[in-house]
Amino acid sequence: MYTAESIEQLVEEFSSLPGIGRKSAHRLAMHILKLPKPDVVKIAEALVNVKERINYCNICWNFTEENPCRICSNHNRNRSLICVVEDPNDVIAIEKTHEYKGLYHVLGDALSPLDGIGPEDLKIKELLHRIEGSVQEIILAMNASIEGEATTIYLSRLLKPLGMKITRLARGIPVGSDLEFTDEATLARALQSRTEV
């Protein structure tokens, strides 16, 4: 089948995205082709903007347009609490519960020896570095997966000797599920009844 080179290139780019197969990529390319030019420019600008404006917060490693991020620089947040999560989507999920008023720390991933992800690949050094006297509790809010569990065990062993309270989310989050896909009520309950490790 003959396809113009620029269409082919667009299909290539789309199919390199996660979860997009060649067929969907082709459908997206056709959709773009049919859009009025200003709409296409808007999409292209949004893509570039996100890369230019979004950075990692130097304190909690969440995505942010300001540094430090709005949560880290908000003095109404409880600075004696740090909730450790795997990725920025987990921060969004926990914020949606309106149950948590402390700070966050985003590891960037979970430990997964099989995928070659070790402690040095996560923002663990950065976590240790920011813990100071005012921190009273660290909540380990990992996904209910094997990797999440391994990360919880690793971090609790590492942090326990530092003397502050270490807690984890209560069971009740379905095994194998990501925090970001857990409904708000369940996540709020898991936070409220967190247990000490």
CB neighbours (10 Å) of residue 179? Answer: 24
Instruction: Choose, by CB under 5 A, the member of 10, 11, 60, 166 that binds Zn ion.
Output: 60
* Interface segment toward Zn ion; rule CB under 5 A; list 70-78, 126-134, 138-146, 176-184: 70-78
CB 62, min distance to Zn ion, A = 5
CB 117, min distance to Zn ion, A = 22
Q: How far apart are CA 132 and CA 154, in angstroms?
A: 20
Q: Which C-beta is closer to Zn ion: that of 12 or that of 66? A: 66
107 interacts with Zn ion by CB under 5 A: no
57 interacts with Zn ion by CB under 5 A: yes
CB 110, min distance to Zn ion, A = 20
59 interacts with Zn ion by CB under 5 A: yes
72 interacts with Zn ion by CB under 5 A: yes
DSSP the chain: ----HHHHHHHHHHHTSTT--HHHHHHHHHHHHHS-HHHHHHHHHHHHHHHHH-EE-TTT--EESSSS-TTTT-TTSEEEEEEEESSHHHHHHHHHHT---EEEEE-SS--BGGGTB-GGGTTHHHHHHH--TT--EEEE---SSHHHHHHHHHHHHHHGGG-SEEEEPPBTBPTT--GGGS-HHHHHHHHHT-EE-
69 interacts with Zn ion by CB under 5 A: yes
Q: Which C-beta is closer to Zn ion: that of 50 or that of 185? A: 50
Q: Which C-beta is closer to Zn ion: that of 68 or that of 108? A: 68
173 interacts with Zn ion by CB under 5 A: no
Q: Which C-beta is closer to Zn ion: that of 11 or that of 62? A: 62
124 interacts with Zn ion by CB under 5 A: no
11 interacts with Zn ion by CB under 5 A: no
CB 154, min distance to Zn ion, A = 23
Tokens matching residue 31 = 């959709």
Q: Which C-beta is closer to Zn ion: that of 14 or that of 104? A: 104
> What distances in angstroms separate CA 120 from CA 62, 105, 107, 113, 126, one per listed residue?
18, 15, 10, 12, 10
Give the binding site for Zn ion (CB under 5 A). 57, 59-60, 68-69, 72
